[in-house]
């Protein structure tokens, strides 16, 4: 008889097992160990109220003693909760997607659902990607930016009766659930921080205007500046597209002038990283000669030197929420309840790092 790996031996070893597969503990084993019915074990696992304190404790002890963990396949089969969750993304900001994936995977392994990921580029491939998700029999779809704001995408999915969660959208729509941070408030807070450091000449790199969060960030920047009675002349603002490359061009526009700003706020980290690169190229020290701030706190924020002061968007946590929200929505529809978007706003954090400091002569 084979040894059970590193554990006290239990009555489990008596179970008939084909070959040398190691014994798997089931509700039945726990039930026997605790001298209750499997149902009671099931109730305890699922946190149902209706179990007496004594039994509950006995069961919990047995679960611990046997090191039991439920078999998701069995549960899913019985409860029909093995949802396929689709992720439809278009802008392959690797770092962002990555953090998203970690959270989504965490939550889906807890709730027993599966993830399918589909990338798309233009409008055409968008249609194709959605068809693929439908063919993969997804029960709901999560859409990160910028697709989360695409009317085409949303309508297409709506028509198919597909539950959707818009991820990090800047403009939540009534019928579609969403998870996001308050981009406006975040950009406002960042601008106020720069002002509080003593900066007056602050340059701003806008994000892709098609992304709704970008619009909010811009609006908040201008609002905060106005509230502080600070002018923002046209040459202090540059357009960007959230890419590193667009950040290079934008930073050059802002810095190659007679009176460059003492601080630049970029609408995301990639463009802030590009700004640092341009500054260095021009012989400017960061943060001594120029403060540079980003947005999102993606890995690049801590890769560049100096590390970026930025807005931390808890993407992983948000992804977990998104999966939960989507499951709720799927179950709602299954139960025949009308679709009704739920909207969650998650807290951001302003992370101060080496790229920001008071201006030289403040």
Binding site for DNA (CB under 7 A): 18, 24, 26-28, 36-43, 45-46, 49-52, 54-56, 70-71, 73-75, 77-80
The smaller minimum CB distance to a second copy, of residues 98 and 349, is found at: 98
Considering CB under 8 A, how many residues would be counted as binding a second copy?
50
Assign 119 to helix, strand or coil: strand
- Rounded to a whole number of angstroms, the minimum distance from the CB of residue 208 to a second copy is 14
Whether the bond between 55 and the residue before it is cis, its omega within 30 degrees of 0, is: no
Q: State how beta strands 140-143 and 84-89 pair.
A: parallel
For a second copy, the binding residue among 281, 285, 340, 345 (CB under 8 A) is 281
Q: Out of a second copy, DNA, none, which partner does residue 284 contact, by CB within 5 to 8 A per kind?
A: none
Question: Does residue 14 bind a second copy (CB under 8 A)?
Answer: no
Roughly how many angstroms between the first and final C-alpha of the chain, as a whole number?
Answer: 78
The smaller minimum CB distance to a second copy, of residues 117 and 350, is found at: 117
Q: Out of DNA, a second copy, none, which partner does residue 152 contact, by CB within 5 to 8 A per kind?
A: none
Look at residues 100, 92, 102, 132 and name the one whose alpha carbon lies nearest to residue 116: 132
Which string of x and - marks every residue 109-138 that binds a second copy (by CB under 8 A)? x----xxxx-x----------------xx-
Tokens matching residue 356: 């920001």
Tokens matching residue 207: 């994000």
Q: Which of residues 36-75 bind a second copy (CB under 8 A)?
A: 69, 71-74
Q: Which stretch binds a second copy (CB under 8 A): 95-103, 184-192, 202-210, 216-224?
A: 95-103
Q: Out of a second copy, DNA, none, which partner does residue 328 contact, by CB within 5 to 8 A per kind?
A: none
Whether the bond between 209 and the residue before it is cis, its omega within 30 degrees of 0, is: no
- Rounded to a whole number of angstroms, the minimum distance from the CB of residue 37 to DNA is 3
Tokens matching residue 136: 């993969």
Q: Which of residues 298-337 bind a second copy (CB under 8 A)?
A: 298-300, 303-305, 334-336
The smaller minimum CB distance to DNA, of residues 73 and 123, is found at: 73
Look at residues 241, 232, 296 and name the one whose alpha carbon lies nearest to residue 264: 232
Question: Does residue 245 bind a second copy (CB under 8 A)?
Answer: yes
Q: List the alpha helices (DSSP H) in the chain.
A: 27-34, 38-45, 53-66, 72-79, 94-111, 123-135, 151-159, 183-197, 212-227, 244-255, 269-281, 300-303, 315-334
Q: Out of DNA, a second copy, none, which partner does residue 136 contact, by CB within 5 to 8 A per kind?
A: a second copy
Question: Does residue 97 bind a second copy (CB under 8 A)?
Answer: yes
10 Å Cβ neighbour count for 334?
Answer: 13
Q: Out of DNA, a second copy, none, which partner does residue 349 contact, by CB within 5 to 8 A per kind?
A: none
Quote the CA–CA distance of 222 and 217 in Å, as a whole number: 9
Question: Does residue 5 bind a second copy (CB under 8 A)?
Answer: yes
Q: Out of a second copy, DNA, none, which partner does residue 331 contact, by CB within 5 to 8 A per kind?
A: none
Q: What angle do CA 281, 283, 286 make, to 5 degrees?
A: 95
**Per-residue exposure over 249-284, b if at least 16 CB sit within 10 Å of its own CB, e if not:** bbbbbbbeeeebbbbbbbbbbbbbbbbbbbbeeeeb
The smaller minimum CB distance to DNA, of residues 57 and 288, is found at: 57
Tokens matching residue 252: 């050059």
- Could you list the residues that contact a second copy (CB under 8 A)? 5, 19-21, 24, 69, 71-74, 76-77, 80, 82, 84, 92, 94-95, 97-98, 101-102, 105-106, 109, 114-117, 119, 136-137, 160-161, 243-245, 248, 277, 280-281, 298-300, 303-305, 334-336
């Amino acid at each position: 008889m084979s040894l059970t790996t590193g554990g006290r031996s239990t009555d489990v070893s008596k179970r008939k097992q084909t070959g040398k597969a190691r014994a798997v503990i089931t509700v039945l084993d726990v039930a026997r160990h605790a001298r209750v019915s499997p149902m009671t074990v099931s109730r305890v696992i699922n946190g149902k109220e209706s179990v007496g304190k004594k039994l509950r404790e006995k069961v919990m002890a047995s679960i611990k003693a046997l090191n039991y963990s439920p078999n998701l396949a069995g549960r899913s089969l019985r409860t029909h909760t093995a949802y396929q969750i689709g992720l439809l993304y278009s802008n392959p900001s690797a770092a962002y997607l990555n953090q998203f994936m970690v959270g989504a995977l965490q939550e889906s392994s807890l709730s027993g659902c599966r993830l399918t990921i589909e990338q798309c580029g233009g409008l055409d491939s968008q249609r194709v990607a959605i068809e693929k998700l439908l063919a993969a029999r997804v029960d709901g779809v999560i859409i990160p930016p910028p697709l989360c704001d695409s009317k085409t995408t949303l309508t297409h999915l709506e028509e198919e009766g597909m539950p959707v969660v818009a991820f990090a959208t800047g403009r939540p729509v009534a019928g579609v659930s969403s998870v996001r941070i308050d981009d406006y408030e975040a950009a406002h807070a960042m601008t106020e921080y720069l002002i509080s450091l003593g900066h007056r000449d602050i340059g701003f790199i806008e994000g892709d205007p098609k992304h709704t969060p970008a619009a909010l960030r811009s609006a908040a920047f201008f609002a905060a500046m106005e509230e502080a009675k600070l002018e923002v002349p046209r040459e202090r603002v540059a357009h960007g597209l959230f890419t590193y490359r667009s950040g290079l061009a934008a930073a050059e526009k802002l810095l190659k002038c007679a009176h460059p700003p003492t601080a630049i706020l970029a609408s995301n980290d990639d463009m802030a990283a590009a700004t640092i690169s341009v500054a260095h190229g021009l012989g400017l020290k960061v943060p001594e000669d120029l403060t540079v701030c980003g947005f999102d706190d993606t890995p690049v924020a801590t890769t560049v030197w100096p590390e970026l002061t930025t807005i931390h968007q808890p993407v992983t946590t948000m992804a977990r929420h998104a999966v939960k929200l989507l499951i709720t929505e799927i179950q709602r529809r299954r139960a025949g309840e009308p679709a009704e978007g739920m909207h969650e706003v998650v807290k951001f954090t302003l992370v101060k790092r080496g790229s920001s400091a008071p201006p030289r002569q403040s």
